[in-house]
Amino acid sequence: MFSVRDLPLARKLSLIVALTTVIGMAITSLASMVYQVFTFTNFMIVELGAVTEVLGKNGTAALRFQARRDAENTLSSLRAKDHISGAVLLNADGSILASYVRDDNKSIALPAVIKEGWEIDYQILTWTRHIHQDDDFIGTIYVESELDELYVQAAKSAVAMLFITLAAAALAFLLGFMFLRAVADPINNLIATANRVSKERDYSLRATKYADDDLGQLSVEFNQMLNEIELRDVEMERRVAQRTEELSRANSDLSGSLQEKVVLLKEIHHRVKNNLQVITSLLNLQARDIVDEGAQKLFINSQSRVQTMALIHERLYQSDNLSKVNFAEYIPALVDSLFSTYKTGSQEIDLQIDVEELMIELDQAIPCGLIVNELMSNALKYAFPEERSGTIVVQLHALEDNMLELNVSDNGIGLPEEVGLEANSTLGWQLLNILTRQMRGALEVLERRQGVHFRITFPLMLESTTKNMV
């Protein structure tokens, strides 16, 4: 939709000047035309009054002697006036002595009450004058005049005023377009400069000063503002460059320090793993000299537990992530180690592992690995006596609400009724309960007759929470 507010400044100013001129000229022309119509109307009234006065004087004798022919001759002199449509000469009693009609097809309609003076409407002007002689009322003269000449004159005036108004508006628009550029050009230059600065971010641009007026002062102030912005921009770039250099050096130092810490952590995991393997080897050597079978089993259990922790540190040493263990890789390696420790060569035990790709923090990975170690070692030691074959299933899946579920089951001989998790005081069961509480989980025995099915559900701890685990 067209709006004057959206026009460029030069056109807007030119349009304002032109409209102001047109409105002023229109008002002036209308006033002039009204004045001319009023003047011409007054002129017609005065002229028609003079005509009636002359006719009254010339018709006095005809009225006195009732000379109709003389009266008609007197009225016929009105043919010289084209705008007079008719006239009537009346006796003192109101009867018609003589009449004149310019157009034979028309007639004169006398008013019901004849009053002396003039009357005008939108069609005709009438003049009525009483005729006296020696202070005696002897008759009346009534004259009608058409107003066509008045309307023609008004139309000519309107046309003339219209042409004058249009010419004045065109001249004003042209002159305004020429002279108003002195106002529009400085403002347009300021707008163009501001747009370029906004788009190009080039604060070295400057607006042109056209004259020593208010707009020139505005251009000077605008350029000073750009100069201050440019200085601030240069200073900011210098500070940013300085800060970037400082951050780069700090980042380089941090990278070096971090790399040193990574190497140190890898070395720690490597040494812990080596120390745990040394302990495992010592336990193995010590177990060879033990004759008591029960004590020897205790040494083997302790060896597998230490080996479980050593395997975690080995995985961390080999991984790029030094704080989390990938259980999809760790569980199979742990199970293989347990198989090599407990499974006899003639047994046919099928191992099924279903573990998701889960990255678990070190503080949570160790107790979880130890739980798998306890449950797997118990299954390998007790579920399949007398070289029986069977299946062991290990599953680890993520649940909703950041929960994990660990399932270890077998189809062996099952768990005796007298064995309970709370009542039994063996080290293995105590470890299961302690490790489950440490992970803030819950341990359940879902099946104990046709094999054993253990389920542990526990929350996946974040780094910030695992540090506070008990």
Domain-wise residue ranges, the chain: 4-179, 186-255, 324-470
What pLDDT is stored for residue 294 in this prediction?
66
| Residue 243: half-sphere exposure toward Cβ, Cα within 13 Å | 6
What's CA 178's distance to the chain center, in Å? 41
What pLDDT is stored for residue 229 in this prediction?
85
CATH number corresponding to 324-470: 3.30.565.10
What pLDDT is stored for residue 309 in this prediction?
60
Where are the strands (E) in 161-286, listed by range? none
What pLDDT is stored for residue 364 in this prediction?
83
Strands in 124-133's sheet, in edge-to-edge order, are 96-101, 84-91, 136-146, 124-133, 117-120
What pLDDT is stored for residue 144 in this prediction?
92
Pairwise CA distance, residues 10 & 33, whole Å: 34
Q: What angle do CA 258, 360, 251 make, to 5 degrees?
A: 15
Q: What angle do CA 36, 40, 41 make, to 5 degrees?
A: 115
Backbone angles phi, psi at 354, to 5 degrees: -135, 90
What is the block-wise mean pLDDT of the chain (470 residues), using blocks of 10 residues?
64 73 82 85 90 90 88 88 89 90 83 86 88 88 89 84 82 72 77 84 82 81 86 87 88 68 52 59 64 64 62 56 75 78 70 88 81 82 82 91 91 76 64 86 85 91 48
Enumerate long-range contacts of 382-388, CB under 8 Å, 24 or more apart. Answer: 382/412, 382/413, 383/410, 383/411, 383/412, 383/413, 383/451, 383/452, 384/347, 384/349, 384/410, 384/412, 384/413, 385/413, 387/344, 387/346, 387/347, 388/347, 388/412, 388/413
Is 169 within 8 Å of 25 (Cβ atoms)?
A: yes
What pLDDT is stored for residue 213 in this prediction?
80
CATH of 4-179, one of 3.20.20.150, 3.20.20.70, 3.30.450.20, 3.30.750.24: 3.30.450.20
DSSP three-state, residue 252 = helix
What pLDDT is stored for residue 274 in this prediction?
62
In sequence order, the 6+-apart residues with CB closer than 8 A to the CB of 245 are none
- Per DSSP, 348 falls in state -
